[in-house]
Amino acid sequence: MMAFQWCPTSMKLRISSEEKLLEGLTAPKEVRLVNIGRCVGETDNLIRTLILNKDGTGTPALFIHGFAAALTTWLLNIDALARDRPVIVIDVLSFGGSSRPKFSSDAREAEDQIVKSIALLMTTIGYEKFILIGHSMGGFLSSAFALKHPDRVVHLVLADPWGFPDPGEPPGNDAAQLHTPLWWKLLDLLHRLANPLFLLRAVGPFTMTRRCGSYLYRKSAFHSMMVNSNYARFPMVDRIMKLPPLVPITFIYGVNSWIDRQPGRSIKERWNGPTVKLNVLHGAGHHVYADRSAEFNHIVMAACVLGELLHSP
């Protein structure tokens, strides 16, 4: 009799599935494990990296995924953008096919560790300036990167970014916005006990995590940076105001998302200039890049052009 056994960490299966998904891309591509050295922890860190159209002449674009995701998040977006420029898509450390180092339990230090890993990656593969696109927690990390390295960011594009609201401020009152989804409230509860993904790993054979279990190995930097599932320990709404005006920001929200878009409006109003744009896409939820991919891609390509114009000699 065959015993039932669940293997939650089959990297070979994860990579095989990824390769099948990437077959649909038309742009010239290569996937690499980029060694950035001992950025976090005591062993070399490897970042799984997809590069499209590496010889393109436009300003490169770097995509940063959100929580419990990976580089395949962006499959509906990156081919269109790669027609004019190199596109770099990564598995953030602790997710996908990248290394899983032990991050600091201090929120600021953990944030700095991820920012440093991204900076080292882009330097290692030869790109100093780029457009930066981040979704959800990837939007928070992209903002942190831009604050640390504003000279390297040509345009900051934030897709339904997490971690912006101040816990002391009331949330926005958009009638169209949905309540926080039940699954995210569950993560909030689990967060108070341990790594918010520990239970998902434990029940993997009975949940969708059987498909993405390889993302969920060990405590990630995200856990350190969270107050709970709705708020960051160091929210971005006021911090981002220190960004130089030469770095334009484009917000892209889904009208039906549970993410509070009031911080985006507040930043646009306080900036009082043309370099902050806010877009709310109808028919889209939190995964705005997939729900309205064509419209999302159009906005991102326009952001690339604007960034290049602002940074042209």
Say what the pLDDT of residue 189 is. Answer: 57
Say what the pLDDT of residue 13 is. Answer: 75
State what percent of residues in the chain have pLDDT above 90.
67
CA–CA distances in Å: residue 77 to residues 26, 73, 248, 250:
12, 9, 20, 16
Is residue 173 in a domain?
Answer: yes
Say what the pLDDT of residue 156 is. Answer: 98
The model's pTM? 0.86
Q: For residue 220, what are the contacts with CB-CB under 8 A and spacing of at least 6? A: 94, 95, 103, 195, 197
> From CA 83, how far away is CA 300, in angstroms rounded?
13
> Left if phi > 0, otherwise alpha if psi is -120 to 50, otherwise beta: which for 53?
left
> From CA 158, how far away is CA 185, in angstroms rounded?
23
Sheet holding 276-281, edge to edge: 29-35, 46-52, 87-90, 61-64, 130-135, 153-159, 249-254, 276-281
Say what the pLDDT of residue 230 is. Answer: 79
Say what the pLDDT of residue 213 is. Answer: 37
Say what the pLDDT of residue 11 is. Answer: 67
Total length of the chain? 313
Say what the pLDDT of residue 52 is. Answer: 98
Is residue 44 in a domain?
Answer: yes
* 72-129 residue pLDDT tens: 999 999 999 999 999 999 999 999 899 999 999 899 999 999 999 999 999 999 999 9
Give the closest residue to 12 by CA, choosing from 217, 219, 214, 218: 214
CATH number at residue 66: 3.40.50.1820
Q: Are 118 and 143 in contact (CB under 8 A)?
A: no
Say what the pLDDT of residue 216 is. Answer: 39
Say what the pLDDT of residue 293 is. Answer: 98
Give the closest residue to 44 by CA, choosing from 148, 119, 129, 120: 120
Element (H, E) at 61: strand 61-64
* 141-157 residue pLDDT tens: 999 999 999 999 999 99
Mean local confidence (pLDDT), 170-184 = 59
| Segments forming the whole domain that contains residue 276 | 11-310
* 233-291 residue pLDDT tens: 999 999 999 999 889 999 999 999 999 999 999 999 999 888 999 999 999 999 999 99
Mean local confidence (pLDDT), 1-28 = 72
CA–CA distances in Å: residue 74 to residues 3, 64, 90, 101, 140:
37, 9, 10, 24, 17
Is residue 287 in a domain?
Answer: yes
Is residue 302 in a domain?
Answer: yes
Say what the pLDDT of residue 92 is. Answer: 96
DSSP state of 274: T
Domain count, the chain: 1
Say what the pLDDT of residue 191 is. Answer: 52
Place of tokens 């899983």: 100
CB atoms near residue 131 (< 10 Å): 28
Among the residue ranges 2-11, 150-159, 287-296, the one predicted with the least confidence is: 2-11
Identity at 289, one-letter amino acid code: Y
Say what the pLDDT of residue 274 is. Answer: 85
Is residue 192 in a domain?
Answer: yes
Is residue 6 in a domain?
Answer: no
- Mean residue pLDDT of the chain comes to 85
Is residue 4 in a domain?
Answer: no
Say what the pLDDT of residue 31 is. Answer: 96
Is residue 190 in a domain?
Answer: yes
Say what the pLDDT of residue 203 is. Answer: 46
pLDDT band at 18 (very low <50, low <70, confident <90, very high): confident
> From CA 185, how far away is CA 191, in angstroms rounded?
10
DSSP per position, 152-167: GEEEEEEES-SS-S-T
Phi, psi (degrees; rounded to nearest 5) at 19 = -60, -40
Q: Are 304 and 296 in contact (CB under 8 A)?
A: no
Please list the residues that pair with 132 across neighbouring strands: 62, 156
> From CA 221, how far away is CA 261, in angstroms rounded?
24
Angle 6-22-131 (CA atoms, 0-180°, nearest 5)?
Answer: 115
